[in-house]
Amino acid sequence: MGVPDRLPAILARLGEIGGEAPSFASLCQVATEVSGTQGASIMLMADRSPRGLLCAMDDVSAHLEELQFTLGEGPGLDAHTQSTPVVEPDLAEPATPRWIAFTPAAVSIGIRAVFAFPLVVGSVNLGTLNLYRTRPGPLGDDQQADTEIVAGIAARTLLTKQADAPAGVLSPQIETESNLRLSLHQASGMVSVQLGIHVADALVRLRAYAVAHDQLIDEVATQVIDRRLRFDDYTPWLEPD
C-alpha cells in the first residue's frame, strides 16, 4: 500500500480517537500504534531548544523528554537540528556511540531503541515526534513510513491550532493541551534576577546544576520557585576552573 493509500487510514484512526480535529494526545497514541513502539511524545521546539511537551503517552515518554532537555542531547534534539529522522535501534549496543550522557540514562530505565521525527512544514521545523521501545530493533519500512505521516499531520495540526494567535504568543488551545514548562520559565527568570544575567544564561545554569546534582531540570526549577535553592548563594560548582 503506497503512501497516498495510508493517509486516509491514519486520519480515520485519529478521528476514532480524537474526533474531527486531532488532539496531540491522539497523535501520540496513533504514533505508537503505527510504529509498534511502547510510547510517544511530541515536543514543541523553538530556537533549537525544547519549549514544552505537547503530549506524552506515559511516564517513560515524559521522562525521556526530561532527560533530553536536562542533558541537552538526544534523538529529538538531533532530529530538530538536522530536520531529518534520527533513529537508534539499539541504545545499549549502538553501531556508532553518541549521546554520551543521554544513552546510559535512557538504558538505565529500560529503553533499548529510540526514534525521532521532525515536525516540518516547508522550511519551518516546529518540534519533534519521539518514540521509544523496550526491545532493540529498527522500525519496519511500513512503520517508518506511517510514523512520518503522523509527524506530518502533527506539524500541520500545530500550525492550525496556532493560526489565530498573535505573533510570538502561543494559542490558548495549545497552552490548554500542553505542558509548556511554565515553572521552568519562572525559575529561569528568578535565577536571571539573582545573578544579573540573561534568561538564556540562567537556563544554562539550571541545566548545569541539574546535571551536577543528578536531578531533572524540572526538579531544580521547583526548588528555585519554592525558594529552597538560590543561585546567588556561594556554589563551588559555579566557580570557574
Residue pair 150/27 in contact (Cβ under 8 Å)? The answer is: yes
Alpha-carbon distance 23 to 61, whole Å? Answer: 17
Predicted confidence at residue 60, as pLDDT, reads: 93
- Cell numbers at residue 171, please? 494559542
Predicted confidence at residue 222, as pLDDT, reads: 81
Predicted confidence at residue 239, as pLDDT, reads: 44
DSSP string across the chain: --HHHHHHHHHHHHHHHH-SSPPHHHHHHHHHHHHT-SEEEEEEEETTEEEEEEEESSHHHHHHHHHHHHHT-SHHHHHHHHTS-EEES-SSS-SS---TTHHHHHHHTT--EEEEEEEEETTEEEEEEEEEESS--PPPHHHHHHHHHHHHHHHHHHHHHHTTSPTTS--HHHHHHSB--HHHHHHHHHHHHHHT--HHHHHHHHHHHHHHTT--HHHHHHHHHTTS--SSS--GGGS--
Residue pair 113/132 in contact (Cβ under 8 Å)? The answer is: yes
Alpha-carbon distance 198 to 200, whole Å? Answer: 5
- Rounded to two decimals, what is the model's pTM? 0.78
Strands 113-121 and 39-46: unpaired
Query: Could you tell me the domains of the chain?
Result: 3-168 (3.30.450.40), 182-232 (1.10.10)
DSSP string across 103-144: HHHHHHTT--EEEEEEEEETTEEEEEEEEEESS--PPPHHHH
Predicted confidence at residue 98, as pLDDT, reads: 92
Alpha-carbon distance 238 to 228, whole Å? Answer: 18
Alpha-carbon distance 76 to 185, whole Å? Answer: 21
Residue pair 192/199 in contact (Cβ under 8 Å)? The answer is: yes
Most distant pair of Cα atoms in the chain: their distance? 63
At residue 124, φ and ψ (nearest 5 deg) are -100, 125
Predicted confidence at residue 32, as pLDDT, reads: 96
pLDDT per 10-residue tile (average), the chain, 241 residues: 73 83 90 96 78 86 88 92 95 92 94 96 90 97 96 92 69 62 72 83 83 82 84 57 41
Q: What angle do CA 212, 77, 167 make, to 5 degrees?
A: 110
